[in-house]
């Protein structure tokens, strides 16, 4: 608790100054008075508000709560301050960075409550930042685990838990790996046999005493290689199958969770970032399971297996040979970070270049119409040159490091002939002496030993990357949706459509309410129009009614039941939306209309299209209802897309209709068609329309003018016009605008 961390010197000073007032709130900032990073303390007792520098007994501010007229938290760029206003002046009493903004907004709420005389307990309003149980560091916001203590092993176990259904196959992979290693040890031993026995001439007789072994040894080598190929194929196959199956399960889990998550989650993240998680991160996971883990296993086994054999053949030689290996590992540890920084720079410059190209290609119309081709070429040239130089730098380094590394490995082989040769001269019967066959076999084993050593140094990095990807995947799977069905949610298959907004408050960021204590009652089958400036909160209100977000306080009721207690599936079934920006999935017109009701028959779809006045343009298309609409429906005009969206809503036949009318201008004829379609659509339903066009407003029973998250006016079109208030102003300014547009349009037609 932050209160407990209050420095002794401050709490003592407080007790001396205000002995009868207990401390209610305490929070430390991270910017000091002069704007440097530092710490100050804001402390509130039951009657006073004080600010102390860290570890000093004299407060910089000492204000009685009663003399404060207002307390607020002000956001600036990257930081914020608490402002208090007295009768004479405004004081900026304490500042903090963006990271602490939420904490201080809570403190300000607490201070206001204190001023009102409420009981405020410190722990209600303290920093919600968690501390790591292992290392005691505070965990940054938006992170579930402490970055210092996140355990690779735990994530690995988690991935393996997804593989649990395939435990049998995993055991099989293990066994095959051991067998592969054992079989691989055979061929070098055979070369020893060949040299030391099979092709050895008996000096006494001049013959080959072991010539009869020849065929057997060849057969053994043949079998060893055959088995090795067979085992490696088998292992690849089993590991691949388990990997694909596991990743399929993981991908299903992540996609299911993404569909369940509420919009709040998507507001905070880029679509691109989420797509990366579903596609790339799971692919990375797959590589981990299919390639890296079996490769690591194999490398470890052969490292141990070959290592033992090396020692067994000649421990003296091995002690020498280990030297260059240690040298190589040290070299790698030093060189790899440097090389990697060059690789990173290279990749970074490359992605910048491709970003530049894609940016200028999508803006090619603007470039051409402003005649800026030369500028673009220069921009490209500059970025391309930087990329080229990064590539050259990389090659320069690589051409030193890579051969050097190879050379160091080969030094091991040189040592074998140097030291091993001496041991041969010693003669096989002396202690430590070796035969020629021993040395040949030994250098064979040595090559086998290097491979896993290098693989392990590289794999460590690859596995870290893959585990990071896995972590990101689990981050999504572990996210709990904000909006969930209450356990006692009621089933409401068909609602009447009576909507009550009861004193609701909501903000996308908790401390910035967009909707403020707003109440509206909409009887069933009434059509109301929401009017107001952009940013007033109209679209937010609509999002709340469809329960894409939950209100912070107050309640939205449908037929008297809080929407939070209605089964989400039922609620959505009863609400139809026609959004401002019509989104069509890539597919046919038929598919797009029937998206609202996949079970709809062709008759029903055509009927819906007819009353949406969409049928008339669909029949003109060569492919009729089978016409494919491209990504975002690019082959249809704005008016056509809108009518398809209306047909979609008609087909769904919802009790409650939400209409976010498009602002994009369409020609008069299309406008008429859309209006007719809307009349058909809104008949006999509760309709909430965000209306920009006066024509739509005429159909509304009542208009609600929203300003800054509050209802500023409510009434019929006529009433509001007679009142000459905010609505009247809006209409007047729109009329003025349309006159300008009309004049402008007229002059343009004269020109042509």
Partner 1 sequence: MNELDPKQVIFATSDEGELGLTLADGTRHTPIQCSCLFPLSDPEHYISIQQGDDKHHPEIGIIKDLSALLPEQRQLIDQDLKHQHFLPEILSIEDIRGLHGIDEWCVTTDRGPITFFVSGRKSSIVLTNDNLLLVTDIEKCRYRITDYTTLPLRARQMLERALP
35 binds partner 1 (CB under 8 A): yes
Query: In terms of CB distance, is 83 or 160 closer to partner 1?
Result: 83
Q: Which two tokens stand for residue 231?
A: 């085992």
153 binds partner 1 (CB under 8 A): no
**Nearest-approach distance from CB 471 to partner 1, in angstroms:** 5
**Nearest-approach distance from CB 54 to partner 1, in angstroms:** 13
d(CA 273, CA 258): 12
123 binds partner 1 (CB under 8 A): no
Mark 347-366 with x for binding to partner 1 (rule: CB under 8 A) and - for no binding: -x---x--------------
Query: In terms of CB distance, is 444 or 532 closer to partner 1?
Result: 532
333 binds partner 1 (CB under 8 A): no
Which of 256, 382, 396, 510 binds partner 1 (CB under 8 A)? It is 382
DSSP SS3 for 712: strand
Strands 40-45 and 23-28: antiparallel
143 binds partner 1 (CB under 8 A): yes
d(CA 149, CA 133): 9
Residues 6+ apart with CB under 8 A from 560: 498, 500
Question: Would you list the DSSP string of 107-161?
Answer: HHHHHHHHHTT----HHHHS----B-TTT-PBPPTT-SS-TTT--HHHHHHHHHH
Which of 115, 472, 547, 648 binds partner 1 (CB under 8 A)? It is 472
> H helices of 185-292, where?
186-193, 213-260, 263-268, 271-276, 282-287
d(CA 694, CA 717): 10
d(CA 35, CA 321): 60
Which of 12, 70, 90, 354 binds partner 1 (CB under 8 A)? It is 90
Q: In this chain, which stretch among 318-326, 338-346, 559-567, 580-588 interacts with partner 1, using CB under 8 A?
A: 338-346
Q: Which two tokens stand for residue 527?
A: 């059509």
Query: In terms of CB distance, is 206 or 272 closer to partner 1?
Result: 272
CB 471 within 8 A of CB 280: no
DSSP 8-state code for residue 563: G
168 binds partner 1 (CB under 8 A): no
140 binds partner 1 (CB under 8 A): yes
Which of 5, 8, 19, 89 binds partner 1 (CB under 8 A)? It is 89
142 binds partner 1 (CB under 8 A): yes
Query: In terms of CB distance, is 64 or 338 closer to partner 1?
Result: 338
Which of 1, 9, 64, 99 binds partner 1 (CB under 8 A)? It is 99
Which of 1, 12, 144, 147 binds partner 1 (CB under 8 A)? It is 147
**Nearest-approach distance from CB 365 to partner 1, in angstroms:** 23
471 binds partner 1 (CB under 8 A): yes
HEC letters along 653-686: CCCEEEEECCCCCCCHHHHHHHHHHHHHHHCCCE
Query: In terms of CB distance, is 92 or 368 closer to partner 1?
Result: 92
Which of 20, 36, 259, 271 binds partner 1 (CB under 8 A)? It is 36
Which of 468, 479, 604, 712 binds partner 1 (CB under 8 A)? It is 468
Which of 12, 70, 97, 663 binds partner 1 (CB under 8 A)? It is 97
Q: Which two tokens stand for residue 91?
A: 């004081």
95 binds partner 1 (CB under 8 A): yes
Q: Which two tokens stand for residue 659?
A: 């209409």
265 binds partner 1 (CB under 8 A): no
CA distances, 583 to each of 25, 167, 187, 593, 682 (Å): 49, 45, 65, 11, 20
512 binds partner 1 (CB under 8 A): no
Burial profile 663-689: b = 16 or more Cβ within 10 angstroms, e = fewer: eeebeeebeebbbebbeebbeebbbbb
Query: In terms of CB distance, is 14 or 706 closer to partner 1?
Result: 706
Helix (H) or strand (E) holding 528: strand 527-531
Q: In this chain, which stretch among 192-200, 310-318, 340-348, 695-703 interacts with partner 1, using CB under 8 A?
A: 340-348
Query: Where along the sequence are the contacts to partner 1 (CB under 8 A)?
Result: 31, 35-38, 76-79, 81, 88-92, 95, 97-99, 140-143, 147-148, 150, 152, 270, 273, 337-338, 340-342, 344-345, 348, 352, 379, 382-383, 467-468, 471-472
């Amino acid at each position: 608790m932050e209160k407990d961390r209050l420095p002794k010197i401050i709490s003592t000073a407080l007790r001396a100054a205000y002995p009868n007032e207990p401390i209610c709130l305490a929070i430390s900032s991270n910017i000091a008075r002069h704007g440097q990073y530092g710490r100050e303390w804001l402390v509130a007792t039951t009657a006073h508000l004080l600010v102390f520098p860290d570890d000093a007994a004299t407060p910089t501010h000492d204000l009685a709560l009663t003399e404060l007229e207002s307390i607020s938290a002000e956001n600036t760029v990257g930081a914020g301050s608490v402002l208090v206003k007295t009768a004479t002046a405004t004081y900026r009493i304490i500042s903090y960075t963006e990271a602490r903004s939420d904490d201080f907004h809570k403190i300000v709420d607490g201070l206001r409550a204190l001023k009102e005389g409420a009981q405020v307990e410190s722990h209600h309003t303290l920093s919600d930042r968690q501390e790591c149980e292992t290392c005691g560091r505070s965990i940054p916001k938006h992170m579930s685990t402490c970055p210092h203590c996140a355990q690779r092993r735990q994530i690995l176990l988690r991935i393996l838990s997804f593989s649990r259904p395939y435990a049998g196959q995993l055991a099989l992979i293990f066994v095959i790996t051991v067998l592969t290693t054992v079989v691989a040890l055979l061929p070098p031993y055979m070369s020893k046999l060949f040299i030391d026995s099979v092709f050895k001439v008996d000096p006494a007789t001049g013959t080959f005493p072991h010539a009869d072994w020849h065929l057997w040894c060849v057969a053994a080598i043949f079998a060893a290689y055959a088995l090795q190929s067979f085992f490696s194929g088998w292992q690849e196959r089993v590991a691949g199958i388990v990997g694909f199956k596991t990743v399929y399960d993981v991908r299903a889990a992540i996609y299911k969770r993404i569909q369940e998550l509420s919009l709040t989650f998507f507001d905070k993240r880029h679509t691109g970032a989420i797509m990366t998680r579903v596609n790339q991160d799971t692919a990375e996971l797959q590589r981990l399971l299919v390639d890296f883990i079996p490769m690591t296993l194999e490398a470890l086994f052969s490292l141990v297996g070959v290592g033992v054999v090396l020692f067994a053949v000649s421990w003296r030689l091995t002690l020498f040979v280990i030297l260059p290996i240690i040298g190589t590992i040290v070299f790698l540890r030093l060189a790899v970070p440097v090389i990697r920084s060059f690789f990173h720079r290279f990749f970074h410059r490359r992605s910048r270049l491709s970003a530049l190209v894609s940016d200028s290609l999508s803006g090619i119309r603007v470039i051409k119409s402003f005649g800026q081709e030369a500028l673009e070429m220069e921009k490209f040239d500059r970025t391309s040159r930087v990329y080229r130089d990064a590539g050259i730098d990389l090659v320069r380094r690589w051409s030193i490091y890579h051969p050097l590394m190879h050379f160091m490995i080969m030094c091991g082989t040189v040592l074998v002939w140097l030291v091993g040769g001496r041991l041969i001269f010693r003669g096989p019967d002396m202690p430590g002496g070796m035969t020629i066959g021993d040395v040949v076999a030994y250098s064979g084993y040595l090559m086998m030993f290097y491979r896993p050593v290098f693989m392990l140094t590289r794999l460590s990095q690859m596995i870290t990357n893959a585990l990071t990807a896995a972590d990101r995947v689990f981050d999504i799977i572990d996210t709990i949706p904000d909006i969930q069905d209450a356990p006692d949610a009621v089933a409401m298959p068909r609602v009447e459509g009576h909507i009550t907004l009861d004193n609701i408050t909501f903000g996308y960021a908790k401390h910035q309410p967009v909707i403020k204590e707003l109440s509206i009652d909409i009887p069933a089958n009434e059509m109301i129009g929401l009017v107001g400036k952009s940013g007033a909160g109209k679209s937010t209100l609509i999002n709340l009614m469809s329960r894409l977000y939950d209100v912070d306080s107050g309640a939205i009721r449908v037929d008297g039941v809080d929407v939070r207690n209605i089964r989400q599936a039922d609620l959505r079934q009863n609400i139809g939306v026609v959004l401002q920006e019509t989104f069509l999935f890539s597919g046919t017109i038929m598919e797009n209309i029937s998206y609202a009701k996949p079970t709809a028959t062709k008759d029903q779809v055509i009927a819906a299209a007819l009353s949406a006045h969409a049928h008339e343009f669909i029949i003109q298309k060569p492919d009729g209802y089978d016409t494919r609409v491209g990504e975002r429906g690019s082959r249809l005009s704005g008016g056509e897309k809108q009518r398809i969206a209306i047909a979609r809503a008609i087909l769904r036949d919802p009790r409650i209709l939400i209409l976010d009318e498009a602002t994009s201008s369409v020609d008069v004829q299309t406008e008429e068609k859309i209006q007719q379609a809307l009349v058909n659509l809104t008949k006999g339903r509760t309709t909430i329309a965000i209306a920009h066009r006066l024509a739509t407003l005429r159909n509304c029973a009542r208009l609600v003018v929203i300003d800054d998250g509050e209802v500023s006016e409510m009434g019929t079109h006529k009433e509001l016009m007679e009142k000459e208030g905010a609505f009247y102003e809006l209409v007047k300014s729109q009329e003025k605008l349309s006159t300008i547009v009309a004049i402008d349009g007229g002059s343009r037609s004269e020109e042509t």
